[in-house]
Each structure stands twice: as structure tokens, then as C-alpha cells.
Structure 1
Amino acid sequence: MRVLLVDDHEIVWSGTRRLIEQLAAEVEPGRPFAFDATRDVETACQHQAGDFDLVLLDYHLPTLSGLAALHAIKAHFEATPVCMQSAESSPQRVREVIEAGAAGFIPKSYRLDDMEAALRVVLRHRIYLPAEFVLTDDVTRSREPDELPREDLARFLRTELSPRQRQVLALAIRGTPVKLIARQLAIAEGTVKVHLSMVYRALGARNRTDALCRVFDAQAASALDLQ
């Protein structure tokens, strides 16, 4: 497993490496582990695009930071999941990061045991969202009378969506761009967009962030292999 940390606080590099190496040995025992850390996006993008399995990106960085940094990292490491970390974890901050294509968000204010649990999830290439974000009133929409009940969502994902629709939704929720979904599944970009439009409509979701919240709120991630 190869992990890149982009964080300008070098004092956290060694501690993060030790923690991630320990968790990686637990998640994928026997697999070689490699870790690198850089202070900024520019240095990070000097690595080859396929060098890493996961990028952990701090929100506040020198020169290029925030959503601009996320866009630059995702553009360079096109096929690599990028998980954002930030000391600020307001619902608005989490939402904007997820809508920009991050494959997860970990608050840096977490205690050690919460941080370990979050990193364990992302090292398994699964999505991590703070529970407080999924459950907050700021992101929980009012439900329409005819909308699919949360307790039926997992069954719906397993039985009512086609295998292709489940693949497209799973990749979209992970933050994979439409063009890369199309490339991975060998289908046209227009076909990907049609699948997403149909699935979002079926879920009563406006976009991938709403779809992600619905799936996590209903504890239906297993139906898409996102646990």
C-alpha cells in the first residue's frame, strides 16, 4: 500500500506515518507499505500519477489550498482516491469538499481512537464521512411523502438497480470523475450521466453528496460495497 500525505505541518509527518503503517499492516497484512509526505500541492504533483493508492490532503496549505488544492490533486492523481483532512469540519465545509470530488473527509480535531477508526476505513479504500455530517439537520432533507423509506434503501440498491447502475453509483460516490468512470467501465460519458441521473432521481437525491448521505444515513453502504 502506497500513501501520500500532503500537509505543511512537518511535525505531524512521522506520527501520521507510524499510525498509517500500523493500520495498513492490519488492513492488508503482508503487503509492502510505502509512505511519502510533502508540504504543498506543487511538490506532490511531481510524483508520477500512479505512484500512490491513497492521497491524504490537508485543507489549509501554502500557496494552493482548499478546493483549488483538491482539484489540482485530483486532476494529477486521476485514478487515486483523495481524502481531505481539515481542522474545520462544519457541514458546509464537508459538503463542499465532497461535492468537489473528495472520496472522504476526516476532521483533524478527532481524538486518536476516532482518527484511527476513520483512517482504517479510508485505508480499505472506503469512504469516510463524519457521522455528525450525515445526521445533522443542515444536510438531512425533508422527505417527500412518496420517497423510498430509509429502511428499504439497501434492498432497493441490491434488487432494483441494475449491476451497471450500482457500479456507476459506487464509483461516483467515491469521487471518480465521469470521464474516468466511463473509461473504467468502457462506456460513453453520456451513458454514465444518464445512469447517474436515473439513479439520483430514484433515490430522491440532487447530486452525489445527497446520494452519499442517503446511503450512509440508511446504513446501506454494504449494498454498494462501500463499508
Structure 2
Amino acid sequence: MADRFHILIADDHPLVRGALKQALLSELEDVTLYEAGSLSEAIEQIEGHSGDIDLVLLDLHMPGMNGFTGLFTLRASYPDIPVSIVSASQELPVVRRSIEYGASAFVPKSAPVDQIGTAIRTVLNGEMWMPDWARDAMENGPVDDDSTNLAQKIGQLTPQQLRVLNMLTEGKLNKQIAYELDVTEATVKAHVSAILRKLSVHSRTQAVIMARELRLQEPAIES
């Protein structure tokens, strides 16, 4: 492993960020930590420390995430940076989808400090980590073919196409999308056509319905 690690903690709760910082500082030597409270702030931090970020700890429920869309966006935009989901949710479908959608780890926020340290070291070593109960359930339980197929289709989209799809789910028109992305309407139409083709659907409505499968319910109790 490298001499010094640069880790980004992306969570909209300052207390959670503080707890994770303390856990990482106590478990890892020579670590530099950055913070973000939204997906856009996380992207700004990654861009501002180009090439330095070794790992992102990502909350699924912070602003801008729109469910798993944020995870797909980070993985598509920065494929060389591993992402570990740190979440208050502990439902098996959420764990399964996190891993299928590109996360290198799923760490419950309620995990003991030493377990968080083990998870982070495992990912920094290039391996995958999840709680034993989740690994056992995924290895011995039924395969979710629908989720796997969705992951494969969404995974084909470029970062810009993911942004366009996200805006489509918000009901925005081509003109609005073009303005926000600072591109022409013709470019937006080209992106929409590519999205429909990659998702194997025939209309914007069908694409939006598929994208909404990426949304999540808020956890009942958020740390």
C-alpha cells in the first residue's frame, strides 16, 4: 500500500463525518482526510485533488445522490477511485445493489471502529469488503436477475448521459437540460437517443421508469 492515503468522507451529517474521521485516524497511519456534504461537493473535492484521492466513503442518502445514481456517476467519472458505501441502511437488497452497482465495500454506520478500519484497509489493498452476514446471504441466497440486468444497462451510460437521465427523472425538458449542462439542445437529443438505446427502451417515459428503480427509501433511523 502507499505511504500516505487520501480519503474523502462524503456524508451530509457533520456528526457522522466527525465519527468516521476519528475512526480512520485511530485505525490508519499517515492518512489525509477530506470532507464533502453532497455529491456535487464530493466531485469538487475529487477534481480539486486530482489524482490524490485513494478512496471515497459515500453516504447513499446525501443531497444529489438520487439513490444509486450518484454511485453510478462517481464510478463512471472516476473508475480508478474505489467507492465504499457507508450507510445507516442494513437491508440486504441495499447491500447487494451497492456491490452490484460498483461499490468496493458496504460498511454499516453502526459498525465498530475496528471493523471500519478493517473494511477500509481491505479496500485500499484492492479487495472487496462487506459484513459477514451480508456475504453469507448473497452467496447462499437467490440471484436478483432484475437488479443485475439494470446494473449492466445503467453501467453503459457515460457520466454526461447519467446527468441527462437524472434530469429526465426530475421532469426537465431538453431546453432546461441544455441550459444547465451548457450544451445545445441537439446535444441533449443525441444523449437521450443514446440513453434509450443503451437501456433498451423506446421512450423517455420508459427510461424514467427504469431510472426510478435506482431510488432508495430513507433509512428509518439515520445515525
TM-score, normalization by structure 2 = 0.55
Alignment of 1:86-165 (within 5 A): 86-136=87-137, 139-141=139-141
Q: State whether residues 8 and 39 of structure 1, in contact with CA within 8 Å, keep that contact through their aligned partners in structure 2.
A: yes
Aligned to 1:74: 75
Aligned to 2:25: 21
2:140 alignment partner AA: T
SS in structure 2 at match of 1:36 = strand
SS in structure 2 at match of 1:66 = coil
Distance in 2, matches of 1:135 and 1:42, equals 35
Q: Given the alignment, which residue of 27, 30, 35 partners 1:37?
A: 35
Distance in 2, matches of 1:88 and 1:113, equals 19
Q: 1:5 to 1:65 in 2, by over 3 A?
A: farther
SS in structure 1 at match of 2:7 = strand
Offset at residue 122 of structure 1 (A): 2.9
Q: State whether residues 23 and 113 of structure 2, in contact with CA within 8 Å, keep that contact through their aligned partners in structure 1.
A: no
Q: 1:13 to 1:2 in 2, by over 3 A?
A: same
1:140 alignment partner AA: N
Per-residue CA distance 1:3-22 (angstroms, 9 max, x = gap): 00110001222332232123
List gaps (5 residues or longer) in structure 1: 26-31, 143-176, 179-227
1:4 alignment partner AA: L
When the two structures are aligned, how many residues end up with a matched partner? Answer: 137
Distance in 2, matches of 1:90 and 1:12, equals 20
2:31 alignment partner AA: F
Aligned to 2:14: 10
Offset at residue 82 of structure 1 (A): 0.6
Distance in 1, matches of 2:66 and 2:52, equals 22
SS in structure 2 at match of 1:84 = strand
Identity %: 28
Offset at residue 141 of structure 1 (A): 4.9
Distance in 2, matches of 1:89 and 1:12, equals 16
Offset at residue 113 of structure 1 (A): 3.7
TM-score, normalization by structure 1 = 0.54
Aligned to 1:183: none
Distance in 1, matches of 2:42 and 2:76, equals 12
List gaps (5 residues or longer) in structure 2: 143-154, 157-223
Task: Note the aligned Cα RMSD (angstroms).
Answer: 2.3
Q: State whether residues 28 and 117 of structure 2, in contact with CA within 8 Å, keep that contact through their aligned partners in structure 1.
A: no
1:91 alignment partner AA: L
Distance in 2, matches of 1:7 and 1:19, equals 15
